[in-house]
Amino acid sequence: MSKILDQLKKSKLIAECPNCQREFQLAKAILFDGSKPLPAKAEDKKNEMLEGLDELKQEIKDREDKLKNSLINTPKRAERGAISSNLGTLMQNFLPYNKDFNKNMPMADSRFLSQQLDVIVFDGASNNDVKHITFMDAKTGDAKMEHNQKQISDVVANGKVRSELF
């Protein structure tokens, strides 16, 4: 092993750091036999890295503690709003399967979108007789349309909708 290390120290070989991908000459690196005690410079580097790891662990613990405290002190109103919003998002997924929805809009004609608007209904598509298209958004409680949803509603109401073939 020592012969190989000596040859590498005298070589003009270039290596690449696996962490930063920078190239360096092997002759300038601290090369050592891993089955023996580390050279002083390598031991120093190891200790430096371990200290950095301890600091990083403490920083993570501090952030976790801060996050736990902020979650514990979250106002009830914000908590209810988050629950309501998540419930609304969950309910959107089930909207086309709701019995009341299916009375007015056949599920076979409906396509779930999820973003911007929740559902687009091609009334009559399942019978090859499309009469009209409905863009639908589901809201629960006091939820209001978001700005971009209101814009979509206005564009549809103003007849600024078109069909294109790509």
Count other C-beta atoms under 10 Å from residue 15's C-beta.
13
Residue 130 lies in a domain: yes
Residue 82 lies in a domain: yes
Specify which residues 123 forms β-bridges with. 132
- In 3D, which of 115, 122, 121 has the Cα closest to residue 96? 121
* Separation between Cα atoms, residue 71 and residue 14, nearest integer Å: 51
Specify which residues 15 forms β-bridges with. 24
Name the domain count of the chain: 1
Cα–Cα–Cα angle for 122, 94, 113, rounded to 5 degrees: 45
pLDDT value for 95: 62
- Tens of pLDDT along the chain (166 residues) come to 888 888 888 888 888 887 788 888 888 888 888 788 888 888 888 888 888 888 888 888 888 888 877 766 666 666 666 666 666 666 656 665 666 666 666 667 766 666 667 778 888 888 899 998 888 887 777 778 888 888 888 988 999 988 877 6
pLDDT value for 158: 93
Residue 100 lies in a domain: yes
In which domain, by residue range, is 137 found?
76-157
Residue 46 lies in a domain: no
Residue 102 lies in a domain: yes
Residue 20 lies in a domain: no
Buried b (16+ CB within 10 A) or exposed e, 111-124: eeeeeebbbebbbe
Classify 23 as helix, strand or coil: strand
Residue 116 lies in a domain: yes
Residue 21 lies in a domain: no
pLDDT value for 45: 83
Q: Cβ neighbours of residue 42 under 8 Å, at least 6 residues apart?
A: 30, 32
pLDDT value for 129: 92
